[in-house]
Homo-oligomer: A and B are copies of this chain.
């Protein structure tokens, strides 16, 4: 009872044992939480306001799940999320399409900087091929000394590397060139995910083939029914390009290119060609459909920019974000993701007043090159209207632009490379919505 009295009268407490002196929940909030949610009537709920009645070993209300043995092991034992998380899924666009070509990652529900493989966004040009890895081959030909035909067993014997990298569709968020989308951050920016990839350095495979002096470009071709093809510079191939077969520790998933994917860190997602079956070395770009009819950036003067490989520096606040409702005043952490096709993220600033004042966010380490970086910023919401924004800076010195600056620079015609600062408006009732400011 003494404890309760101290708690309610707000008498000074001894310094906490932690070096962090900040208090995150209001005095009595724990007890009032229990009351507000009707927790006292639920199995497992304990009255925090009455600590003196607690026995030594077990709280008085034993929940149902402690009264009987739990479930046994799954068969087959490949694990899945809790049924209570059944709404945390990749999502098709709201507008139905005869041939949907993408699903989006639920960024608003995720933590850290890893996207689970089951939630990694998808973009297909002709559906997901069902490839038998024992039959799959990679051909390396063109301007090489020794054309190669490699099976997966051979590729698995090469020296491997594991690296964390994001993949973002170059069209991610580009509807924002027109008008603010009304969906969640998943709907608006969900063509973005990150993973730990394992594979072979493309430079090692090219060394086996012996690249001829005239070589300048490569063609990558996928083994899907679209025979998806893109050109990329030899310099990228020899720098950090990978032929990956592993994603987050296991083999690639079918929708991510099983059994082999080209990975061009920091480049447009479509260039990391899935179901990779062929690399042709040439002396010039190959001007395939996907780099002439598609994946070029239409400028205001009617010209189109081609081969805009690198994704711009970008960040997003994912919590809180659009369509969420703040469920109470007081402390809450603002957090989100930052990434750049130009290298490491060096800084993220956050504004809670629509860009008038910016303060540095903390970055979760280790910060890696061309990788999703989680940022965190402490905030106390007391019911005021607020405009939340984040602005990322990368190691090349690129600063994420405002929407006005981006539109002023490239216009509104492009369907690609939208990396403007995202603004979320928090209303007085706690509702969060997407706004252009």
Contact = CB atoms under 8 A, between A and B. Distances in A.
Copies in the complex: 2
A65 B20 contact: no
A208 B42 CA distance: 25
B89 A76 contact: yes
B54 A141 contact: yes
Nearest to A86: B76
Contact of A89 (B14, B77, B122, B254): B77
A21 B210 CA distance: 10
B79 A16 contact: no
A293 interface: no
Interface residues of A, number: 156
A37 interface: yes
A149 interface: yes
A95 interface: no
A128 B71 contact: yes
A203 interface: yes
A278 B59 contact: yes
A301 interface: no
B81 A80 contact: no
A365 to B, nearest CB: 8
Interface string A231-261: 0001000100000011011111111001100
A211 interface: yes
Interface in A197-216: 197-198, 201, 203-204, 206-213, 215
A374 interface: yes
Nearest to A327: B153
Interface stretch (A132-140, A349-357, A387-395, A421-429): A132-140
Contacts of A151: 33-34, 37, 39
B146 A253 contact: no
A116 interface: yes
B90 A137 contact: no
B72 A31 contact: no
Contacts of A127: 69-72
A253 B71 CA distance: 13
A25 B157 CA distance: 9
A61 B387 CA distance: 57
A46 interface: yes
Contacts of A159: 24, 333, 376, 378
Given A25-B208, A63-B135, A3 B146 contact: yes
Nearest to A130: B65
A213 B79 contact: no
A207 B15 CA distance: 8
A87 to B, nearest CB: 9
A129 B88 contact: no
Contacts of A25: 148, 150, 154, 157, 208
A133 B86 CA distance: 13
Interface string A23-47: 1110101110110010100111111
A65 B17 contact: no
A333 B158 contact: yes
Given A17-B215, A141-B51, A141-B54, A78 B71 contact: no
Contacts of A18: 201, 203-204, 206-207, 211, 238
Given A14-B212, A29-B154, A84-B259, 4 more contacts: A16-B207, A71-B254, A77-B92, A113-B162
5 contacts: A18-B206, A25-B208, A79-B120, A109-B250, A157-B330
